[in-house]
Every structure is written in structure tokens, then in C-alpha cells.
Amino acid sequence: MISKDKLKNLSINEIIEKYPYTEGFFEDQKLAVDDKDKSLKEIFSELTIEEMEDVVFDLDQFAGSLTSHIRNMQEFLGENDSIVGTLSIVAGKDKDGEWENYEKLDIKSGEIISIVGPTGSGKSRLLADIEWTAQGDTPTERQILINDEVPDKKWRFTGGKKLVAQLSQNMNFVMDLSVMEFLNLHAESRLIDNQEDVVERIFKEANQLAGEQFGRETQITSLSGGQSRALMIADTAILSSSPIILIDEIENAGINREKALELLVGEEKIVLMATHDPILALMGDKRIIINNGGIKDIIETTGEEKELMKELKVLDKVMTDLRDDLRYGNNLSRISDELAEIKTA
């Protein structure tokens, strides 16, 4: 790690050459630089009072801040130490202080786990425990292990790298950007090498998930609900730095949910999915039953449930087709007499 004092004597150009990501740092810190061949020391000695005001830090603080930035970025780029092969949740207590009904749940990358339970049952607390890599120091006293070890504290505090990415029903895009501008902005913040290819891939995957196609120049704020979710999911799967993804329901309309989950799992993510939709819940390998703040049971999806899944998909298809007919102005017709019989039985 480079020392503060060494940095002070380097020119801006030398620093950027050595650490390319510092270019954005100098810009965001609003340091007035007229000549990039001057050293930090020289630049600070020549700042006017107003320019000093803008940059807030003095030379020593600025150099300190710059070393922290370089350290953060090196950590961020060191992807190897952040591969999550297994996430383990060691049992804690429910709201009454009773021990949870299991010992240790291991979730491997590429697995989908459904979380079911009524509102207020403790789903958010479970997620928060994972995000905080709890070590018996949260109300549930659960412990989180990553690759069977006590995780590094960096997961708790760094701005750039979070353990859990979240996708939920009420999330919107708020930036005034086109689809491509948006993807490029996200890619830049991740400092990836093959930006163009990655961005193109996300665009294509998102369009495959979306029921209705959208273009590269479409403003993200004007995408439909289904299109937005498709873009969010493709972007999170491919570009998010978080190895674990929490999904809070995926609405049925305008998006291919099965493909969406395949995409996430294909990127070696761990997918946790809070849902009350039987189709989604059964797409999981296991489901966690939560009640009164604790995990009551962990159920593996059974063979019969997998068979049921096929039937549910038929029902789902029926509804989707009816929606499409409605959208394109067709008359709707009855499906079959059998269905009516099942319903009344």
C-alpha cells in the first residue's frame, strides 16, 4: 500500500497512471487542477481560499482520503476473496426466546431458497441477519457463516460491496437515463474490463425476459413494470457485485419468471425468494417456513410438488393466454367443462 507522503509528491498524471480509478476521485473531490503534471503538494500550495473551501480537506487529509479510496478500490477489485460458495445460517431464537427448530442450514451458490410466512413473521429480520453477517449479536442470535468460516467484517461496512442485492415489487428507476446510458453507468462503477460486451449481454437477456421488447434508447423511467423488472433482474444477475440476491415476489405480468430465476442461478448467485406464489415457491430447491420471528421448518420440494408444478404451469399458461387475448382485443371463450367441474368440487 502506497504511503500518504509518497502520494503527496506524485503528480496527478502519475497517480492516475498507477491507479486509473482515481480519475473519478479527483473529479468528485472537486480539486482544482490546472496542470496534471504538478504534484499534489504543489497543487495544494497554489489553491486560492475559495478553491480550498471547495475541496474541504487540507493536503494531509486529502492524501489520507486518497489512500483510503485506493485501499477501498483494491479491495473492491479483489474479487477472489468474495466468492461465496456456501452460505450457512446457524439457528438462533424466535420472538419468545425459543430455539429454532433446526441446527444449521447450508445454501450453496446456484441454489434457490423460498422463504414463506405471514407478514411480520420475521422474513426481513432473517434477511437483515444475512446482510449483517450476524454473529449472535442481533435479536435472533443467529450466526451467519460464509464458506464455513466467520466472514470478514468488510461485508458490514464497505460502500461498494454488499453481501445481499435486493429486488422487490415496489422498486423503480429514478434516473433520467436511457437503457444503455444506465447500464454503462452501472458498469463503470463496477470497473469491469469488457464493458461493451457485458452491457450488450444484459440488454439482450433483459429483452428475453420481458414480455414486450424495448429499445436501447428507451428512457428507463418510461419502461413498463414488466420491462423494468426484466432489466433490473438481468442487470442484478450479471453486473451486481453481491453474491446473494433477495427477491421479494416477482409479479406474474410482463416477465418470464422461470427464465429470470434461471439467469440469476446461472450466474452462480444464491437466490432467496420471499413469496406466497406457489409456482415461484416450488421453483426453489427448499423452502424456509418462518413464524413468530423464527425458522419453524425447512422443507425440501417433494416429488409430488414437482408434479403439481406442471399442473400449476398449465393454469398459469391459461391465464397468460387470456390476458394476451384481452390485450389484443379478442373475444374470450370458455376453457373446458372439466375445469368448471374441478372448481365446484
Partner 1 sequence: MNLVTFSGPPSSGKTAVILKTIEAIQQRGLKVGVVKFDCLYTDDDELYRKAGVPVKKGLSGSLCPDHYFVSNIEEVVQWGKERDLDLLITESAGLCNRCSPYIKDIKAICVIDNLSGINTPKKIGPMLKTADIVVITKGDIVSQAEREVFASRVSTVNPDAMVMNVNGLTGQGAFEFSTLLYDEEDHIETVTGKKLRFSMPSAMCSYCLGETRIGKEHQLGNVRKIELGDE
Query: Which of 39, 72, 86, 252 touches partner 1 (CB under 8 A)?
Result: 72
- Residue 57 makes contact with partner 1 by CB under 8 A: yes
> Residue 175 CB, nearest distance to partner 1 (Å)?
6
Query: Which of 5, 17, 42, 137 touches partner 1 (CB under 8 A)?
Result: 137
Query: Which of 186, 257, 269, 287 touches partner 1 (CB under 8 A)?
Result: 186
3-state secondary structure of 270: strand
Residues 219-278 that bind partner 1 (CB under 8 A): 228, 232, 235-236, 239-242
**Spatial distance between the Cα atoms of 171 and 177, rounded to a whole number of angstroms:** 16
> Residue 7 CB, nearest distance to partner 1 (Å)?
13
Nearer to partner 1, 51 or 316 (CB): 51
> Residue 306 CB, nearest distance to partner 1 (Å)?
30
Which candidate, 220, 236, 264, 230, places its Cα nearest to that of 250? 230
The residue type at 126: L
Determine whether 109 is exposed, middle or buried from the number of CB atoms within 10 Å of its CB (0-12, 13-18, 19+): middle
Where are the alpha helices (H) located in 2-57, listed in sequence order? 4-8, 12-18, 22-28, 40-45, 49-55
- Residue 50 makes contact with partner 1 by CB under 8 A: yes
> Residue 183 CB, nearest distance to partner 1 (Å)?
8
**Spatial distance between the Cα atoms of 271 and 108, rounded to a whole number of angstroms:** 10
Stretch that binds partner 1, among 10-18, 124-132, 211-219, 317-325 (CB under 8 A): 124-132
Query: Which of 2, 38, 86, 173 touches partner 1 (CB under 8 A)?
Result: 173
Nearer to partner 1, 168 or 213 (CB): 168
- Residue 39 makes contact with partner 1 by CB under 8 A: no
Contacts of 216 (CB under 8 A, 6+ apart): 178, 179, 180, 203
Contact call for residues 272 and 127 (beta carbons, < 8 A): yes
3-state secondary structure of 182: helix
Nearer to partner 1, 51 or 305 (CB): 51
Residues 187-226 that bind partner 1 (CB under 8 A): 189-190
- Residue 97 makes contact with partner 1 by CB under 8 A: no
Contacts of 247 (CB under 8 A, 6+ apart): 166, 167, 168, 271, 272, 273, 274, 275
- Residue 302 makes contact with partner 1 by CB under 8 A: no
The residue type at 327: R
Total residues in contact with partner 1, by rule CB under 8 A: 53
Sheet holding 270-274, edge to edge: 164-168, 244-248, 270-274, 112-116, 286-291, 294-300
Query: Which of 54, 60, 212, 297 touches partner 1 (CB under 8 A)?
Result: 54
DSSP string, 220-260: GGGS-HHHHHHHHHHHHHHH---SEEEEE---STTB-HHHH
3-state secondary structure of 281: helix
Nearer to partner 1, 109 or 138 (CB): 138
- Residue 158 makes contact with partner 1 by CB under 8 A: yes
Nearer to partner 1, 242 or 275 (CB): 242
In the complex, the residues that contact partner 1 under the rule CB under 8 A are 24-25, 28-30, 50, 54, 56-57, 64-66, 68-69, 71-72, 124, 127-128, 131-132, 137-139, 156-160, 162, 165-168, 170-175, 182, 185-186, 189-190, 228, 232, 235-236, 239-242
